[in-house]
Structure 1
Amino acid sequence: MTMAYAEVIGDPISHSKSPMIHKFWLDQAGIAADYRATHVMPDRLAAHFSSRRADPLWRGSNVTIPHKQAVIPLLDRLDPAAEKIGAVNTVRPENGALVGYNTDFAGFLEPLQPLLARSHLFRMARMFGAGGAAKAIALALASQGFTIVVAARNLDQARALRASFGPDDSLIAPLSHFAEPTDFAWDDRSGVLDLVVNTTSLGMTGQPPLLVDFSHVPPGAVVYDIVYSPLETPLLAEAQARGHQVINGLAMLIGQAAEAFALFFGQPAPRDHDADLRRMLTA
């Protein structure tokens, strides 16, 4: 039996948890459709989308490394957020046109919504990393009124990232700065929302840890790591041991997938069983 389908494409792709998430939601919603992982090498990207454009059963593709920028010239238009971010992680057909979206922006913000619903005197984010998903995250934070310090190994990359939402060389720093202790005396942080965000791959399975001395982390700061393998990175483990609220990468993964699911299948992702989904993803 033929049925509608969506997919995730990348090179490599076998590690992706997207099929598990979308198939769970399809089953929960009672939608007769499929979601699959498709290995697409860079030299086959144009041919892949040419083929998909002609397939009436195709509902769209999530796009992962290394195709998030390379796919853009193959599309007919971009959603305004994707255009500003300069990267696409979701493509769908719309009246014969291929349209690119970026769901990382909304996916990153989703687990922060209870905090963002409150009023604050000041919002400050210390963001580690300036590549990959960093631009979507920085623009998301800027949209919520955060002052953002960007720390990266490559200062030119950090400077270019800051230029995309507000040039300020006083708000960039080498990543190594945060690995060394500081004797900074924190002032009263009541009324302040402090956020520490890791957007790098440091701490991921097979990668060295992100080195952060917690003298740089304000009291009461929320620590958010977008890495989801392992679920508890060394950064989050130390933050939790020190009493900080933590958010792991699974929250963003599920949040951005929910945005894509609605684009592909025309209805919201069924979120009543998120706890079951999380248990399945971490089994």
Structure 2
Amino acid sequence: MTDHPRIPLAGVIGSPIAHSRSPALHGFWLKRYGIKGHYVPLDIAQADLAEALRMLPKMGFVGANVTIPHKETVLRLADVVTDRAALIGAANTLIFRKDGKIHADNTDGAGFIANLRQHAPNWNPQAGPAAVFGAGGAARAVVAALIEVGVPEIRLANRTRTRAEVFRSDFGAKVTVHDWIHAGDMLEGAATVVNTTALGMTGKPDFRIPLDALAPGTLATDIVYTPLKTQFLIEAEEAGATVVDGLGMLLHQAAPGFERWFGQRPEVDEATRKAVLGA
């Protein structure tokens, strides 16, 4: 009897998870590179998460992506946590190691920067301050990444100011907190503008902050990708900004996990975007 190698399995853990584009993305890459492997949606309740993480490696899983509401919880359940995942306070990528340990990382910030570099190659993070709307988990990944690439100042506004204040204590003096009611003022002289809130997303309230102070040539990006071109991006483009939609962040944050699990660095290109948009 010949020994058959196990087919590597990976997936995305969340609840709910049926809406996720990740299975379409990883499925496209698996097919493109002719890899025998599978990537599946895993709807796992909070109460079952610890047990599931112990079971998945025994079932042939080599890793998983993690999304809402488990990104913070998995940090407590992992054996090894990268510095950036610890700083962000959330993980989106798990590797089930051969020694039985669970390795947790956060690739959201790296995906965010890779998306900007791909679609706005002339962007210079050191050219001036960044204005960031929102102070949730995604904002933590974005702010950590912006500081890492040399943005001199992060201007942050959140509807609940206290959440933004936490950023200042966690990320240091580069972060300045602004009241939500005056958030439009943060755009004065900003070189990079980022919406990390769900405002403007399909089915959510509109993004209503005035963009009058936005200078032509500023880079504006939204991490929302449904719709692909949000009202925020439409208005920013009308004001002369260079705009980058949020889909590329999803694609680029997925690449490191795919490489670790399946042994192939995937290319993020137009065909990849089309495959995910068609999902």
TM-score normalized by the length of structure 1 = 0.89
The equivalent of 2:102 in structure 1 is 98
The equivalent of 1:13 in structure 2 is 17
Structure 2 CA distance, aligned partners of 1:120 and 1:46? 39
Structure 1 CA distance, aligned partners of 2:243 and 2:218? 9
Matched, 1:278 2:273: yes
TM-score normalized by the length of structure 2 = 0.90
Aligned length: 271
Q: How does 1:217-232 map to 2 (within 5 A)?
A: 217-232=214-229
Identical counterparts, % of pairs: 38
Q: CA deviation at 1:122?
A: 3.2
Out of 194, 199, 202, the position equivalent to 1:197 is: 194
Identify unmatched segments of 5+ residues in structure 2: none
The equivalent of 1:42 in structure 2 is 46
Matched, 1:134 2:139: yes
Secondary structure of 1:150's partner? strand
Runs of 4+ residues deviating >4 angstroms = 114-121
Q: Which digits, 9 at most, give the CA deviation of each residue in 1:122-168, with x for residues without a partner?
A: 33100000012111110100111111100111111101012221146
Q: Which digits, 9 at most, give the CA deviation of each residue in 1:27-81, with x for residues without a partner?
A: 11111101010101111101111111323x2110100000011111211110121
Structure 2 CA distance, aligned partners of 1:3 and 1:185? 50
Out of 243, 247, 257, the position equivalent to 1:246 is: 243
Alignment RMSD: 2.3
User: 8 Å contact 1:53–1:98 — kept in the other structure?
Assistant: no
Q: How does 1:147-158 map to 2 (within 5 A)?
A: 147-158=153-164
Secondary structure of 1:224's partner? strand
Matched, 1:82 2:77: no
Q: CA deviation at 1:280?
A: 2.8
Identify unmatched segments of 5+ residues in structure 1: none
Out of 172, 175, 178, the position equivalent to 1:173 is: 178
Letter in 2 for 1:139: A
